């Protein structure tokens, strides 16, 4: 690939982002374009706002952390990104990923809570059963991505990790 074709493809990609933002009624600011590019580059990885902010700074784009949060909020509201909450003992943290038009809105992932390795679960029967169980408990999870936190075998072997003591957990 020549330098001219690389510049041309970069320019075409940026023009497509600008077109998508304008079509949604969002002004294509440098910050929004930067956030979009980072989510695209790191897809399908789920990123928190602080990571997006650091990646923007590393790539030479300057924006405040608040601006990054607002851009992510706008993308979620307009369907350009998916927001997922990760629970921890200290509370929850929002993570974001670019929404993929061909992907199922309700996806299930299994993620190691220590190293972050993940696998996508493509099992409609399991997703249906998880939704039924959640609804039986009064939870509305329809069309929401689900993450099941686990400890992978590598982390369990090498880090002597103990299972988390969740409030109300009785251990079996």
- Domain total in the chain: 2
90 is in an annotated binding site: no
Residues 139-152 have pLDDT tens digits of 776 666 677 788 88
115 is in an annotated binding site: yes
How many other CB atoms are found less than 10 A from the CB of residue 28?
17
- From 82, 75, 95, select the one nearest 149 (Cα to Cα): 95
The CA-to-CA distance between both ends of the chain, in Å, stands at 58
Instruction: Indicate the pTM of the whole model.
Output: 0.61
112 is in an annotated binding site: yes
Burial (CB count <10 Å: 0-12, 13-18, 19+), residue 168: exposed
Decide if 43 is inside a domain: yes
Residues 48-71 have pLDDT tens digits of 999 999 999 999 988 999 999 999
Residues 20-54 have pLDDT tens digits of 888 888 899 999 999 999 998 888 788 999 999 99
What is the extent of the structural domain holding 34? 1-100
By percentage, how much of the chain surpasses pLDDT 70? 74
Residue 133: CATH number of its domain: 3.30.1490.190
Decide if 170 is inside a domain: no
């Amino acid at each position: 690939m020549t330098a001219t074709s690389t510049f041309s493809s970069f320019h075409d990609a940026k023009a497509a982002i600008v077109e998508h933002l304008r079509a949604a009624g969002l002004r294509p600011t440098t910050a929004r374009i930067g956030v979009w590019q980072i989510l695209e580059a790191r897809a399908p990885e789920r990123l928190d706002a602080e990571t997006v902010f650091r990646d923007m700074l590393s790539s030479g784009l300057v924006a405040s952390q608040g601006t990054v949060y607002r851009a992510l909020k706008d993308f979620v509201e307009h369907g350009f990104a998916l927001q997922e909450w990760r629970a921890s003992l200290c509370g929850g943290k929002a993570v974001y990923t670019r929404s993929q038009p061909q992907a199922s809105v309700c996806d299930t992932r299994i993620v190691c809570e220590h190293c972050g390795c993940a696998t996508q679960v493509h099992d409609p029967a399991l997703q249906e059963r998880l939704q039924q169980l959640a609804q039986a408990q009064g939870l509305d999870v329809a069309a929401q991505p689900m993450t099941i936190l686990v400890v992978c075998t590598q982390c369990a072997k090498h880090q002597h990790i103990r299972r988390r003591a969740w409030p109300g957990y009785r251990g079996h």
